[in-house]
Amino acid sequence: MERVQALSIVLSAGLVFAVFYLMRRRLLREQYSLLWLLFGLILFILSLSTTLLEGAASLLGVKYAPALLFLVGIMVCLVLILHLTVVVSRLTERVIRLTQELGMAKHQLDRIQVEEGQ
């Protein structure tokens, strides 16, 4: 077993265990943990099976098969970052809308209190 393969096995297994730990502690929601688990398992399977990895690398024209692992890992990270950016954008819009609604409700409450005080 090459050092790169051993490193990728350890890192992908560590990722899977970290996701399970975060799920158990309720620090990571299920909708995100499923994505992380899927990608971690894909990396783990590619790390374990050198024939599968070498076949995929030759199919894609990658000369050094372990480099495909890192390419897949980088692409997974980019997809996850894009997904989380979309989620943050949606949440930002919701916070703005809720802040505006809270401001209008506070204004109406203040106006009602002033009217009752007269």
Tell me the pLDDT of the chain averaged across its residues: 89
pLDDT at 20 over 90: yes
pLDDT of residue 118: 67
pLDDT at 14 over 90: yes
Domain coordinates in residue numbering, the chain: 3-117
pTM score:
0.64
Above pLDDT 90, what percent of the chain?
42
pLDDT of residue 80: 83
Angle of helix 50-60 versus helix 30-48 axis, rounded to 10:
90
Confidence of residue 13 (pLDDT cuts 50, 70, 90): very high
pLDDT of residue 103: 96
Q: pLDDT tens for residues 79-113?
A: 889 988 999 999 999 999 999 999 999 999 999 99
Handedness of CA 90, 96, 99, 105 (dihedral sign): negative
pLDDT of residue 1: 67
Task: Tell me the C-alpha distance between 18 and 22, whole Å.
Answer: 6
Over 44-111, what HEC string results?
HHHHHCHHHHHHHHHHHCCCCHHHHHHHHHHHHHHHHHHHHHHHHHHHHHHHHHHHHHHHHHHHHHHH
Sequence letter at residue 46: L
Is the pLDDT higher at 1 or at 72? Answer: 72
Residue whose tokens read 């989380």: 84
Task: Tell me the C-alpha distance between 32 and 96, whole Å.
Answer: 24
Is the pLDDT higher at 81 or at 118? Answer: 81
